[in-house]
Structure 1
């Protein structure tokens, strides 16, 4: 697998992809034809134009998979794929409907560079069960692409000890997930990302990540930490309806 999984596409005070632009352009093949999957947002054309603008001048050409008659054919013609953020339930529902889910699994498994941000990063995990999003639509299944065998929580937020909000913190919600599912969860803070190259996986970006496992205290992962051991695991879900 050749994966770049960003927690977020926009950092506070910066433009779209600006905080990770050097990493993005280093990850994508030179002068690549990039297939962009805009289905996490409702306005596909505007979203695609935003990605084009962010990559203008890099030599990378961007084409939305919705811009032709067949999204699967658009993917097949590309040198790399980028799935943008938005609502993960809407995104996954559309991947199923268009046939892109199976096509993405096959393409990424065959080595096509796969870049995700937020909802697009959620898609790389086995299921949607650790997304932060509201289920505004109901996909046929919670099963995503399974490009990595562990869950990811983009936009991970640490508990705020000064907050008076009494709802669950992100840490508490992920702990609840692990009460029902025995699979690691990698919390990616804003500005961080996961790089997977073959059998090697590394935490990268501007801030540390946080790893959650059943029966263990959360573990801080400094930037540069090799987390390749996570690629060896197989997800074991105990779903209780």
Structure 2
């Protein structure tokens, strides 16, 4: 597996894709999965993320996982791209979209078979082991049909983004509360906004991504 899980900064993306895919961004087709952004009032199309990726040189195709008829259709969509980027927004809306039609299973298979994966915020959260601690960051009521908050489990951590407390909606004391309430039950990995979790094979390390 080749994964880059960011909190907010995309500074590590170019080096990641060049190493993972062996080509520069302008030579790659990127699938931009924006279900999480679609659930938000601010920038509901994830345009700032798409603009930033375009600046880096990517040719991006917008994809809504929830619109796939089934997992097989989503698998065909993923087969047509060189790298998949899963946008930030509401983590529970994203998990619901991936669970509802089998697209999550297709995504897991594709990533395990070598498709490079970039996640930002919710896109990083959803591939972790569980989303339970994220109820203090995102509103789970946008996805009332979710039976449980198990993640896609591509990484063994619960990724908690924005952990430096610099974004106004997420003050430092919020992360202290997450640690206090969930720290003994979940393998929390707090990720600052200028950092990313790089996963390659079975190894994981936090790198700069300002």
Range class of TM-score, shorter chain: 0.7 to 0.9
Q: Is the 8 A contact 1:51 1:62 kept in 2?
A: no
Task: Map 1:138-217 onto structure 2 (within 5 A).
Answer: 138=144, 139-157=146-164, 169-179=174-184, 181=185, 183-205=186-208
Matches within 5 A, 1:123-134: 123-131=126-134, 132-134=137-139
Q: Aligned pair 1:66/2:77, yes or no?
A: no
CA contact (8 A) 1:104 1:145 kept: no
Counting only pairs closer than 5 Å after superposition, residues 1-241 of structure 1 correspond to structure 2 as 1-9=1-9, 17=10, 19-20=11-12, 22-23=14-15, 26=18, 29=21, 30=23, 31-42=27-38, 47=45, 49-56=47-54, 58-66=56-64, 72=74, 73-131=76-134, 132-137=137-142, 138=144, 139-157=146-164, 169-179=174-184, 181=185, 183-205=186-208
**Distance in 2 separating the partners of 1:52 and 1:5:** 16
Q: 1:158 to 1:52 in 2, by over 3 A?
A: closer
Change in CA separation of 1:28 and 1:206 when aligned onto 2, cut-off 3 Å: closer
Unaligned runs of 5+ in 2: none
Alpha-carbon distance, 1:178 to partner? 2.8
For residue 99 of structure 1, report the CA deviation from its aligned partner.
Answer: 2.1
Structure label with greater radius of gyration: 1
Paired residues of 1:52 and 1:61 also in contact (CA < 8 A): no
Q: State TM-score, norm by structure 1.
A: 0.68
Q: From the two aligned structures, give the one with the greater helix fraction.
A: 2
Shift of 1:49: 4.9
- Compute the displacement of 1:65 (Å): 1.7
SS at match of 1:63: strand
SS of 2:150's equivalent in the other structure is coil
**In 2, are the aligned partners of 1:89 and 1:134 still within 8 Å (CA)?**
yes
RMSD: 3.1
CA–CA separation in structure 2 for the residues paired with 1:145 and 1:126: 6
Sort the Cα spacing of 1:57 and 1:193 in 2 relative to 1 into closer, same or farther, 3 A: closer
Tell me how far apart the structure 1 counterparts of residues 164 and 4 of structure 2 sit (CA, whole Å): 21
In structure 2, relative to structure 1, the CA distance for the partners of 1:110 and 1:75 (3 Å cut) is same
**Alignment partners' CA distance in 1, 2:192 and 2:57:** 29
Unaligned runs of 5+ in 1: 10-16, 160-164, 208-241
Give 1:232's aligned residue.
none
Superposed displacement of residue 206, structure 1? 5.9
